[in-house]
Amino acid sequence: MALVTWWSDVRAWRTAHPLVGDVVLAAVIFALGLTGQPSPETGQPLPLTPALVVMLALACVALVVRRRAPISVWVTTLVLAALSVAVADGPAPAIVTVMVAVYTVATACRPRTALLVAAATPVVLISTYHLAGAEAAWLSDATYTLTAVSAMACAIGFAVRGQRQVLAAAEERALRAEESREEEAQRRVTEERLRIARELHDVVAHHISVINVQSGVARHLVHSDPDAADVALGHVRDASAVVLSEMATILGLLRTSDESPETQPAPGLAQADSLVDAVRRSGLTVSLRITGSPRALAPSADLAAYRLVQEALTNAAKHGLGSADVAIDYREDHVALDVANPVAPGAAVAESGHGLVGMRERVASVGGALVVGPRADGTFGVHAELPFGSADLASAYQRSLA
């Protein structure tokens, strides 16, 4: 186990410092080459001549840059090895550097190029043996040995190349997966941020509008009609209490602790009467008409419908002439909502804004349709059609309200 760990550390170090690793490899080959070449008769090392030492040193120096120029290094080491064979009249230490170069070509170049290099190496060296007049025993052994060693160096290079490609592909897949996870997390954060912003707008805008209108009424009547001013201030107090309560609920959901805050069920069309009553207390004259057979909507569609009516009435109180008509029609497969309020003739009517954008997003999220804009009868209308959604979800939601 310790040996495996040590080898892994060595490989990691070599990967991080390739040039230093090649220098160490060249130094080791040079040191081993100085031990001398074996004698054909006795097998004992023969002393090296200065020329062989110089050629071995030059071949080892070439190995230092083998990763940058594998073909050039192979040619250089092959020439030096052939010259060494000619000088020594037999095997020379520089041959080892050629095999390292063959391995490098197999790991860095195309397979066809590597195979040509592996085949050419023993041919050149064996031919040099013949030209140098080497011993017959050496020629017989050298033919098989050089061919086998060159083929083995090429095969090892192919194996290492394949392993590197597999590891690179795995790292690429892991990197893409990590990037995908980060993009997905960022997308979800953005969607959640927009959802929270939309919810805060829907909750706060309506009640702040009530507070704004009623505080203006109280200021206007504080001296002439204190009782009416007191009633208006009561509406301000009630609206601010509702804002604080709903803000506490929303912010409680954003807590990062493990505590589970107590929350109330999300509002829906079942609370349409209460919503209209609250708007009426703010001073807006509202008529509510419900037709068809009321049915439970899926939770998301029910919340979208409630917020849609709330936002439409808020806009009517801010930009209308003091009245609004709300119609809720339960049809066969969807519920139709229609809110209309009169506007001053020639008044500029905004058809965009955070509230209207929130309306469109909510309706689109539940697969509904929305039409917003001025009408021929001088009113500004909001008309939406929302599907009931999954029957199972709707039934479960209806049971939760019971």
Domain positions in the chain? 13-177, 269-401
Rounded distance between C-alpha atoms, residue 310 and residue 316, angstroms: 10
Higher pLDDT, 395 or 237: 237
Which of 240-249, 250-259, 277-286, 326-335 ranks highest by mean pLDDT?
A: 326-335
Among 105-109, 198-202, 220-224, which stretch is predicted with the lowest mean pLDDT? 198-202
The model's confidence at residue 329, banded by pLDDT at 50, 70 and 90, is very high
Note whether 290 and 275 are within 8 A (CB). Answer: no
Rounded distance between C-alpha atoms, residue 157 and residue 100, angstroms: 10
Residue 294 carries which DSSP code? Answer: -
Rounded distance between C-alpha atoms, residue 352 and residue 382, angstroms: 13
Higher pLDDT, 141 or 388: 388
Q: What pLDDT, on a 0 to 100 scale, did the predictor assign at position 5?
A: 67
Q: Is the pLDDT of residue 10 over 70?
A: no
In whole numbers, what is the pLDDT of the chain averaged over residues? 79
Higher pLDDT, 391 or 30: 30
Rounded distance between C-alpha atoms, residue 386 and residue 365, angstroms: 10
Q: What pLDDT, on a 0 to 100 scale, did the predictor assign at position 141?
A: 73
Q: What pLDDT, on a 0 to 100 scale, did the predictor assign at position 393?
A: 39
Q: What pLDDT, on a 0 to 100 scale, did the predictor assign at position 246?
A: 67
By C-alpha distance, which of 281, 286, 273, 290 is closest to 312?
286
Q: 131 vs 54, 83, 87, CA distance in Å?
A: 22, 11, 11
Q: Is the pLDDT of residue 126 over 70?
A: yes
Average of per-residue pLDDT across 55-76: 91
Q: Is the pLDDT of residue 13 over 90?
A: no
Q: What pLDDT, on a 0 to 100 scale, did the predictor assign at position 48?
A: 77
Which of 19-23, 145-149, 152-156 ranks highest by mean pLDDT?
A: 152-156
pTM to 2 decimals? 0.47
Q: Which helix (H) or strand (E) holds 369?
A: strand 369-374
The CATH code for residues 269-401 is 3.30.565.10
Q: Which helix (H) or strand (E) holds 275?
A: helix 272-281
Average of per-residue pLDDT across 114-134: 85
Per residue in 77-93, pLDDT (tens digit) is 999 999 988 887 777 88
Higher pLDDT, 387 or 183: 387
